[in-house]
Amino acid sequence: MELSSTKALTGTATRDHVLRQMENHFVPALSNCIQIAQLKKIHACIVKLSLSQSNFLVTKMVDVCDNCSDTDYATLLFQQVEEPNVFSYNAIIRTYSHNHLYRLAISMFKQMMRHPRKSAENTISPDRFTFPFLIKSCAGLLCHRLGQQIHAQLCKFGTDSLCITENALIDMYTKCDDLATANKMFQLMTNRDAISWNSLIFGHARLGQMKSAKDLFDEMPCRTIVSWTTMITGYARVGCYSEALQIFREMQMVGIDPDEISIVSVLPACAQLGALEVGKWIHMYSDKNGFSKKTSICNALVEMYNKCGCFDQARDLFDQLVDRDVISWSTMIGGLANNGKAHEALELFRDMQRAQVVPNAITFLGVLTACTHAGLWKEGLECFDCMREDYHIEPEIEHYGCLVDLLGRSGRLDQALETIMKMQVKPDSRIWNSLLSSCRIHHNLDMAIIAMEHLLELEPDESGNYVLLANIYADLGKWEAVSSIRKLIRNRRIKKTPGCSLIEVGNVVEEFVSSDDSKSFSKDIFRILDVLALHQDRTNEVKDFEQELTDQALS
């Protein structure tokens, strides 16, 4: 009896050893496999040798499918296994997660938890490699509650947490806008890496909490290009363009060269500030490093040049671009429209249609802007109808704003008001302000009062609306009404928003706000202004004297 048992064990050990040898025979081939066609040949050999139930080989083959982004074949491979183990499940979950099939990844985890087993010994449990990709899937779905449930499962099974798992949790909670839990997870971590810091900084920056993001950024022991780019993007997103440029400069000062993503992130700040010299430097840097050939970089450069008024350089870049996407066309059309090149913008839109590039909402916004600037109300109406009927794009508040402005400036005030009343979205203050401005141009007091009534509801403390209505009354010679509005402004203690301007000197953008003398060089500026004013007075005196002599000579 003991002899037969020993022989059985020896036989089993031998079979296992042979099986492992056969499995290991395929490892080099699978490791070097980069195409599904190659994989299918290897798979055929595995089936021929009756190894198709090997979880080890199936896991390797699913990994190849993951690298080739062929989730259908990965699914077929997994489904043929009668008794998949945790490694097979991890491989298919990882494949679905990498290829953005997040619901399938979660569904596979549920199947794993309730998979029927032939015996208690074969019970399967998730391990520490299962959870990172499940958490990533929850983040991809932006499903906070599901993420919390997966987090609870992680705690329940008591698996040793990897740094990658904790980073995935921070990323998931930040993407689901739960910064409190993300911060708590961050504080509990014993080993934080750059990804941990970057994930939390990104979460705060994405929600516009730039002070918190900057505090974390300053505390970060070792910043990466991702850290710097996240800060640049965050500042640009909330309109703090000067801060975005400052971070960009500091990044270079510490010896980190900009990459494609950081360049795309900082160029909008250059465009908004009119920082042309910085933009030109970025253009030269991009040419030197081969970035300018990238469509995304070229699109950002075109937008920068357009917003800085350099539409010739923008057009040259656009014409040189080989792979033009809808963003390329839309950016150039919008740039031409905003720089007074309305007819060129419309012609470019027709070129876009001939190139069979499908326009989007931003494209039509540029076309409507061009029609507005050129006063082409018929073409504007045709464009608006084309957007809805031919391309099935629902107009947004900006499209309605352009149309109302176009009709109003063209004197079609009744049609402009009718458009507002039929809007699918609630008109905002910009819509009514546009109508009010048109009423001043065409001296329509009755409609101006209608627009002003709506503006008072939306912006009761906006001084510009009162001033505009007062100007309409003044144009019509109704001085008592003008006096009443001025008295109303004083009684309500409405303050005018101070004006500001920007200027770029020596690659540094300076912002000047009305009545603000806090800058260190303010005294020098006022001194120069006094000199210029004195010079202008003397120039005027000389001109008056010369004119007097001329009059005397003629008489």
Model confidence over 420-469: pLDDT tens digits? 998 888 898 889 888 888 888 888 888 888 888 887 778 776 777 777 77
Reported as a single tens digit per residue, the pLDDT across 171-213 is 999 999 999 999 999 999 988 999 999 999 999 999 999 999 9
Q: pLDDT at residue 133 above 80?
A: yes
Is 342 a domain residue?
no
Sign of CA dihedral 208, 212, 215, 218: negative
Query: For residue 461, what is the domain's CATH number?
Result: 1.25.40
What pLDDT score does 226 carry?
95
Indicate if 425 and 447 belong to the same structural domain: yes
Residues sharing a CB contact under 8 Å with residue 328, sequence separation 6 or more, in sequence order: 295, 298, 299, 302, 318, 321
Q: Are 510 and 503 in contact (CB under 8 A)?
A: yes
Indicate if 454 and 483 belong to the same structural domain: yes
Q: pLDDT at residue 168 above 90?
A: yes
- Name the more confident of 378 and 459: 378
Token pair for residue 421? 């009343």
| Range in 157-171, 273-287, 405-419, 529-543 with the lowest mean pLDDT | 529-543
What pLDDT score does 520 carry?
63
Reported as a single tens digit per residue, the pLDDT across 54-73 is 999 999 999 999 999 999 99
- Name the more confident of 33 and 3: 33
Reported as a single tens digit per residue, the pLDDT across 10-25 is 455 566 666 778 888 8
Please state, as a whole number, how many other Cβ atoms lie within 10 Å of the Cβ of residue 43.
24
Cα distances (angstroms) measured from residue 8 to each of 11, 14, 164 = 5, 10, 44
Of 265, 311, 263, 267, nearest in space to 289 by CA: 263
What pLDDT score does 3 carry?
42
Is 340 a domain residue?
no
Indicate if 463 and 492 belong to the same structural domain: yes
Q: What are phi and psi of 504, to 5 degrees?
A: -105, 120
Reported as type and span, the H/E element at residue 110 is helix 102-113
Please state, as a whole number, how many other Cβ atoms lie within 10 Å of the Cβ of residue 516.
11
Indicate if 234 and 295 belong to the same structural domain: yes
Indicate if 468 and 527 belong to the same structural domain: no
Distance in angstroms (rounded) separating the CA atoms of residues 454 and 221? 53
What pLDDT score does 12 carry?
55
Indicate if 450 and 466 belong to the same structural domain: yes
Q: How confident is the model at residue 8 (pLDDT cuts 50, 70, 90)?
A: very low
Three-state DSSP string of 450-489: HHHHHHHHHCCCCHHHHHHHHHHHHHCCCHHHHHHHHHHH
The domain tally of the chain equals 3
Indicate if 233 and 283 belong to the same structural domain: yes
Indicate if 474 and 522 belong to the same structural domain: no
Residues sharing a CB contact under 8 Å with residue 484, sequence separation 6 or more, in sequence order: none
Is 387 a domain residue?
no
Q: pLDDT at residue 518 above 70?
A: no
Is 438 a domain residue?
yes
Is 456 a domain residue?
yes
Q: pLDDT at residue 381 above 70?
A: yes
Q: How confident is the model at residue 509 (pLDDT cuts 50, 70, 90)?
A: low
Is 528 a domain residue?
yes
Reported as type and span, the H/E element at residue 502 is strand 500-505
Indicate if 298 and 234 belong to the same structural domain: yes
Please state, as a whole number, how many other Cβ atoms lie within 10 Å of the Cβ of residue 164.
17
Indicate if 295 and 285 belong to the same structural domain: yes
Is 51 a domain residue?
no
| Range in 116-120, 348-352, 368-372, 474-478 with the lowest mean pLDDT | 116-120
Residues sharing a CB contact under 8 Å with residue 256, sequence separation 6 or more, in sequence order: 223, 225, 228
Distance in angstroms (rounded) separating the CA atoms of residues 213 and 216? 5
- Name the more confident of 480 and 491: 480
What pLDDT score does 2 carry?
47
Indicate if 248 and 293 belong to the same structural domain: yes
Token pair for residue 285? 């840097």
pTM of the model: 0.75
What pLDDT score does 554 carry?
56
The fraction of the chain above a pLDDT of 70, given in percent, is 84
Among 259, 277, 303, the domain boundary falls at 303
Is 244 a domain residue?
yes
Range of the domain at 502: 498-539
Indicate if 475 and 505 belong to the same structural domain: no
Reported as a single tens digit per residue, the pLDDT across 94-121 is 999 999 999 999 999 999 988 665 544 5
- Span 505-531, mean pLDDT? 65
Among 303, 337, 369, the domain boundary falls at 303
C-beta pairs of 122-128 under 8 Å, 24+ apart in sequence: 122/83, 124/84, 124/85, 124/86, 124/89, 125/86, 125/157, 126/86, 126/89, 126/153, 126/157, 126/159, 127/86, 127/90, 127/159, 128/159, 128/160, 128/161, 128/162, 128/165
Q: Are 455 and 433 in contact (CB under 8 A)?
A: yes
Reported as a single tens digit per residue, the pLDDT across 261-302 is 999 999 999 999 989 999 999 999 999 998 988 999 999 999
What pLDDT score does 433 carry?
85
Token pair for residue 407? 């009709």
Q: What mean pLDDT, rounded, does the chain reach? A: 85
